Structure 1
Amino acid sequence: MGVLTVTEEFTSTIPASRLFKALILDADNLIPKIAPQAVKSVQIIEGNGGPGSIKQMNFAEGSHFKFVKHRIDKLDEPSMTYAYTLIEGDALMDKLESISYEIKLEASPEGGCNGKNTSTYHTKPGVEIKEEEVKAGKQAAAGIFKAVEAYLLANPDSYV
């Protein structure tokens, strides 16, 4: 099994606590509402929504993928850190055992936030992941992030 780790840093004008509430804590409700063309629904299939829980994300009609299941590994609201692992679904493309993600948000002096997203791809034996495949997933995630950010900018009283 091979391992590829990619770390990205980003900034937002949205305060860290607001972004964490929308992007992490209420994502199951918010994302299907603001990006129905991408995500049809998200449901907890096992657990209470905290660490160890399993969630299934169902993608919208016309998507390249039908669903993914992920396990919540860490949910630390005070430190605004969230980690989860994709464990099943067609987004793993029969090439990956899993993909682990860790997202950390911190308040910035300007009032917005700085974030860091680390993705670790665990490939199946003998499989090499291509940079284009990683980029495609990152672009989809960036689109969801931008949709949440736009929603928060347009709705300043949400998630305060």
Structure 2
Amino acid sequence: MGVMTYTDEHVSPIPPARIFKASIVDSHNLMLKILPDAIKSIEIIKGDGGAGSIKQINFARGWVKHQIDELNEKTFTYKYTLIEGEGISDKIEKVSYDIKFESSPNGGTISKMTTNIYTHGDFEIKEEELKAGKEKVLGLYKVVEAYLINNPNAYI
């Protein structure tokens, strides 16, 4: 098994508590509201939504299952593992994500994400595929960020 690791950062004008609550804690409600054409449903199929829970996200085309490894509302950290669905194949065993929201000097947030892709054998993912995955994640953050900017009383 091989492991590919990459990190990414995004700076947002939204404070950590708001963006964490919207994009992580209440994502199962907010994503359906702001991305109705892309996300058809989000179900917690095991657990209560905290650590150990399994969440299934049904997209317009496909689905994924995430296992929540850690959700800490005090430190604004979230760790989860993609265990089934799109992105998992005979070449990729699982993908784990470690996300931390930190305060920035201007009162906003610096989102730091580490992604570990566990591959079967010595399979390597092409740079274009990694870039496309990063752009999808950044796109989700931008949609949540825009929602919070346009709705200043949401998730306070």
State the TM-score bracket (shorter-chain normalisation).
Answer: over 0.9
Residue equivalent to 1:144: 140
User: 1:49-128 alignment to 2 at 5 Å?
Assistant: 49-60=49-60, 63=61, 66-128=62-124
Q: List structure 1 runs of 4+ shifted beyond 3 angstroms.
A: none
Amino acid at match of 2:13: T
| TM-score of the aligned structures, taking structure 1 as reference length | 0.93
Deviation of 1:133 after TM superposition, in Å, equals: 1.4
Secondary structure at the aligned position of 2:52 is classed as: coil
Instruction: Let me know the Cα RMSD of the aligned residues.
Output: 1.1
1:62-112 CA distances to partner (integer Å, 9 max, x unpaired)? x4xx10001000111100000000000032243210000011001122111
Provide the residue aligned with 1:28 in structure 2.
28
- C-alpha displacement of 1:139: 1.2
C-alpha distance in structure 2 between counterparts of 1:146 and 1:90, whole Å:
22
Structure-2 residue corresponding to 1:16: 16
The structure 2 residue matched to 1:133, chosen from 129, 135, 138, is 129
Unaligned segments of structure 1, at least 5 residues: none
Q: How many residues align?
A: 156
TM-score by length of 2: 0.96
Larger deviation: 7-16 or 127-136?
A: 127-136
Output the CA distance in 2 between the equivalents of 1:77 and 1:148: 18
Partner Cα separation in structure 2 for residue 142 and residue 40 of structure 1: 20
Q: Contact 1:6–1:119 at 8 Å: present in 2 too? A: yes
Q: Which runs of 5+ in 2 are unaligned?
A: none
Identity of matched residues, %: 55
Moved more, 116-125 or 33-42: 33-42
